[in-house]
Structure 1
Amino acid sequence: MPATVMTFANFKGGVGKTSTTALVSYNLSKLGYKCLVIDFDAQANITSLLLKTKSNESDIITINTTLMAAINEQKELNEIIINIKPNLDLIPNAVDFSIYPRYLEKNFENEIDKVAFFSNKMDSLRAEYDFIFIDVPPTLSLLNDTAFYACNQIIVVLQTQERSLAGAEVFIQYLQDTLINEFNSNVDILGILPVLSKKGARVDQEILKAAIQEFGSDNIFNNKISIMERIKRMDMQGITDNQKDIHDRNVNKVFTDVAEEILKRLSSVKKEEV
């Protein structure tokens, strides 16, 4: 079976997409699924986070070739993979990726050729993994179009704030109008994953209620993420997984639950397709 290619996305920044990508892929790898994370952001936040995760176990970390360098040098993507831990690999990125849209504009005339470029570039990877996660910046752009076009599934990350809900609505409409209607993408939305600012907070509940009215309860993940101080620390220091530390256990339990719900939702999708 080829890999399921996914991204966590929203039009609005600061909703926890990168942390979610890192922790879901980390905990899926612990469940025995082979996962690859592709950093698709010139800020390289997930590259930094995962390399710090690796450095918790080993001090020797070298990035020989970034994603943009591999594209420029026409290297296969599997040549630049960095192993983070068993079942978890990374394709790293760096600031040079800011020229990626110009590369597409220079090398392809037709819009569909530009949009389909990265999906074609990934062909050699799909048979090697169970899951491939693409971590994207919070923009609607040609850069992200090429990432979304490569995906089978998108999970919309919804921080329970009014602007994030509006961003989710705009983002979903954009996917429909552009990727699906214009470029005939097969991408689907697996669901909407809420990120709560505080458990039980009134504003969280109001935004969740509005999201259910807008998108339907079946499309909202049952598992929800709360903003936790330990996640913020992991963003700076890498993912930690000390079973004697209650905060580590709590964070990884939350994302294991999200990972298991992803598996359940994907199983339902496959049954519907049969």
Structure 2
Amino acid sequence: MIISCANEKGGTGKTSTTALLSWELATLGKKVLMVDCDPQANLTDLMLKTQARKNTNVTVDPSLFALLINKRSLKDGIINIKQNLDLLPAAADMNMFSRWLDKQPITESEKVGYLKDSLVSVTTSYDFIFLDVSPTMSLTNDNVFMACDWLIIMLQTQQRALLGAKSFLNYLQTNLIDEFNAKVDVVGILPVLTKGQSIIDNAILNNASNDFGAENLFNNYITAMERVKRYDMTGITEDSKSVWDKATHSAYTAVAKELLSRLGV
């Protein structure tokens, strides 16, 4: 099952949610692969810092881009992060993927489906594959969404994020589903509260409920947590003596369990 956390607006928590949902699903016993499709490689950076905490220094070689353009099996680039959790890393060269694809003598349909075809080599080895993306609309991101079975729409409780979610869903329908018959669907809208149920938070949630349907919003929310920001510097920690680690993992575990329930698995 291939999933991406998505929104047209940046800064909505896509990468953090991808990392921590993957982490909690792996802890729950699911076999998970994270694929970093973002040229900024923030997911890769986070996971390599996590690895470094175990005194394990790993280099990105080969990168996802190198594997794709050389038509190698994606298995060749996989890095193990912890039990049940693997990473397929990106590097800055992923910036060239769209340009490279555009030059290939293949049809438009083959161009947007290139990543999907490449993922065939790893799909049977995992319960979940999470694809991390940049917030821009591009041929690279079209490849990601064409490959997905499901999307989690990230809704930071800001007006621009709500507008970004609407714009993204319209883009998805008109440019990928209608034109290329993409099979992707939305499993739910995941709110990311900026202030913890402030007046603005609640107003945005109410608008989202009206726009998308209350049943399509996750019951479990993510709140802005300093510990998640800290992970960007230190890597993911899971200290049983830390109340902040416990609270953070507990929040994402609740979302992971709701995701499993929504998917019926």
What pairs with 1:1-274 in structure 2 (closer than 5 Å)? 4-267=1-264
Task: Provide the C-alpha distance between the structure 1 equivalents of 2:57 and 2:231, rounded to a whole number of angstroms.
Answer: 20
Task: Provide the C-alpha distance between the structure 2 equivalents of 1:60 and 1:46, rounded to a whole number of angstroms.
Answer: 16
4+ residue segments displaced more than 6 Å = none
Equivalent AA in structure 2 for residue 37 of structure 1: M
Give how far 1:72 is off.
Answer: 2.5
Task: Provide the C-alpha distance between the structure 1 equivalents of 2:258 and 2:233, rounded to a whole number of angstroms.
Answer: 27
Task: Provide the C-alpha distance between the structure 2 equivalents of 1:124 and 1:165, rounded to a whole number of angstroms.
Answer: 36
CA offsets, 1:73-109, max 9 Å, x none?
Answer: 2211011100011100000111111110011111144
Task: Provide the C-alpha distance between the structure 2 equivalents of 1:71 and 1:180, rounded to a whole number of angstroms.
Answer: 24
Structure 1: tracts of 5 or more residues without a match:
none
RMSD: 1.0
CA contact (8 A) 2:60 2:90 kept: no
CA offsets, 1:223-250, max 9 Å, x none?
Answer: 0000011010012211110111000000
Give how far 1:199 is off.
Answer: 1.2
Equivalent AA in structure 2 for residue 97 of structure 1: M
Task: Provide the C-alpha distance between the structure 2 equivalents of 1:147 and 1:59, rounded to a whole number of angstroms.
Answer: 30
Task: Provide the C-alpha distance between the structure 2 equivalents of 1:62 and 1:97, rounded to a whole number of angstroms.
Answer: 16
Give how far 1:70 is off.
Answer: 1.2
Equivalent AA in structure 1 for residue 54 of structure 2: E
Task: Provide the C-alpha distance between the structure 1 equivalents of 2:45 and 2:116, rounded to a whole number of angstroms.
Answer: 24
Give how far 1:17 is off.
Answer: 0.4
Task: Provide the C-alpha distance between the structure 1 equivalents of 2:181 and 2:255, rounded to a whole number of angstroms.
Answer: 29
Give how far 1:204 is off.
Answer: 0.2
In structure 1, the residue corresponding to 2:33 is in which secondary structure? Answer: strand
CA contact (8 A) 1:198 1:204 kept: yes
CA contact (8 A) 1:108 1:114 kept: no
Task: Provide the C-alpha distance between the structure 2 equivalents of 1:22 and 1:134, rounded to a whole number of angstroms.
Answer: 10
Equivalent AA in structure 2 for residue 115 of structure 1: V
Aligned residues: 265
* TM-score normalised by L of structure 2: 0.98
The more displaced of 48-57 and 246-255 is 48-57
